[in-house]
Every structure is written in C-alpha cells, then in structure tokens.
A and B are shown apart, each in its own frame.
Chain A
Amino acid sequence: MKNTGTLTVTTPTEREIVLTRVFHAPRRMVFDAFTKPELLKRWFGPRGWKLVVCEIDLRVGGTFRFVLRGPDGRDMGMRGVYREITPPERSVHMESFDDYPGESQVTTVLVEQGGRTTMTATVLYPSREVRDIVISTGMEHGAAESYDKLAELLESTDSRLPAKEAAGS
C-alpha cells in the first residue's frame, strides 16, 4: 500500500524525465487540484513554502504565474503557458523558473482505475545536458545516492587541506 504514494522517476529518452505517482482519488479531483488556484494554494510547493501568487488562465495559449514564499521570506517565481488542456485526463504546458536556467515542457496524463489515479508527468528538458545533470546527480534514486556522491566529492575537496587534528586523538 505504501508504494502507491511513492514518486517514481524514469528516463525514457535522452531529454526527458518522467515522474509517476498514484493518488487515492478520482482523476477529476486530481485534475482540479492541479488546475484550480484555490486548491493549488493548499498543496503546491515544498513544505514550509506558501503559494502567495497563483494566477491561472486555463485555456490553450493561456498563461500561469506562481510565486512561492519560503520560510525565510525568499520568493521563488515560476511561469508558463498552456499548450493543451483536456480535462480531466491530460494537459501540456511550458514551464520556467525565474531563478533557474531553461524552459521545459511538462505533459501531465491522469489515468483512473478503481478509484485511484496514476499521474504521469513527462518533463522534456531543453537539452540533454540539463536533463543529464538532473539524472546523473541521481533524482532517479530518490536523490539520496547522488547527494551522497556529491557530498563525497565535496568532502574530499577538504582532504587536500592540511589534515585536521584527527578526531579523538
């Protein structure tokens, strides 16, 4: 049962990342939660962050604008434009973050079965390079592995500094 709440990440082509997750609700609810500002404000964003701006013009060619405010008061803005909207099963939008490079295309497909909805979000990156970095740093493995690798790399940079007084000696 616990697996249904697990975020799965795969890489079907060289410029894509696919996020899959199951929700215990009919897809019209999930679709609403993804497209209605009053609902998005209840869940969208990392813990501790609040969606302070959520403007959605839900039609083909319509734009959206989100601003998330962090616990330290830092704002993170993102914007995009809708390319396809087929409620409650499919949407395609372009997305970019104010502070990060690149625009990606996000295709969201919702499939309902037995009262559960499987969400598949395909993020198409502007280049293989950008996607590869995201992958190689290990999102696929729940990020943990990559961060371990990176942490190792970062820690070992310290090793070229004069050896610290060994702990406990």
Chain B
Amino acid sequence: MNQTQRLDATFAALADPTRRAILARLAAGEASVMELAEPFAISQPAISKHLQVLERAGLISRGRDAQRRPRRLEARPLADIAGWLEDYRKFWEGSFERLDELLDEMKASEKKQKRKKK
C-alpha cells in the first residue's frame, strides 16, 4: 500500500465507533477476541469482522500467544493520521497569520496612494 491507500484504510477503519472503542480498549493492553467482545452487545463473529478491518488497516496485530491470539494496538497508522491533521491545522493557522500581515501592508500602501492623488 502506498501512503494514500494507507491513509484511506486508516480513515475507513476509524470511521466506525465500535472499532474506535476496540482500539481504546487495546490501548490499555492486549486482549483476546473474547475479552474484546465482552463489553459490546454484538456477536463474536461481528467483533471478528471489525478486527479484520483493523488488522488490514495495520491498526492492530496479533500477539505471540498461539492459544489466545491476543490483539494489540499498532500506533503507526494513528501517528500518520495525527500528522495529516497537524499539517491541516498548521496550514491554516500559519497561513492566516501571514495573510493578516499582508492585508495590513496592502491597506497601508493603498492609503499612501490615495494621499498622493489628493
């Protein structure tokens, strides 16, 4: 997957509230599918489907314990998203501050020109 496809997959995976809740749970430590299904009023197969989506997006991986196959959180894709948002915010904040300065300059030069005309 290239960067765009990765971001797409991450965005899509994070768009579901159940999947976000699963990630929040995994942030506290790895957990088995059974443990993950517990707090939700949905079936284990349904949880498994959510886990598949998260796994494909690289947001979770499976632990080494072959019996329990615990899932664990992978932070990297989240960091990519954070980077995307940070870029977006910086973009507009920085831009608008500069635009303020430019507009002040434009106003000042216009005043000067008007005075010259008079």
Q: Which A positions have Cβ atoms within 8 angstroms of B?
A: 5, 7, 19, 21, 23-25, 29-30, 32-33, 39, 42-49, 76, 99-101, 128-130, 132-134, 136-137, 139, 142-143, 146-147, 150, 152-154, 156-157, 159-160
Contacts and interface: CB of A to CB of B under 8 A. Distances in A.
Contacts of A153: 23-24, 27, 73, 75, 78
Interface string B54-73: 00000000000000000011
A47 B94 contact: yes
A128 to B, nearest CB: 8
A150 B82 contact: yes
Contacts of B99: 23, 30, 33, 43
Given A46-B90, A100-B4, A133 B14 contact: yes
Contacts of B3: 99
Contacts of B103: 23-25, 29-30, 33
B85 interface: yes
Given A29-B106, A157-B75, A139 B90 contact: no
A33 to B, nearest CB: 6
A48 B93 CA distance: 12
B88 A42 contact: no
Contacts of B7: 100-101
B12 interface: yes
Given A33-B106, A47-B97, A160-B29, 9 more contacts: A23-B96, A33-B99, A43-B101, A46-B87, A46-B95, A101-B8, A136-B20, A147-B86, A157-B27
Given A29-B107, A42-B102, A160-B72, A146 B85 contact: yes
A45 B94 CA distance: 7
Interface residues of B, number: 45
Contacts of B81: 133, 137, 150
B76 to A, nearest CB: 10
A161 to B, nearest CB: 10
A150 B85 CA distance: 11
Contacts of B24: 153
Contacts of A44: 95, 98
Nearest to A132: B15
B4 A21 contact: no
A45 B15 CA distance: 28
A24 B94 contact: no
Given A19-B92, A46-B91, A147-B82, A154 B75 contact: yes
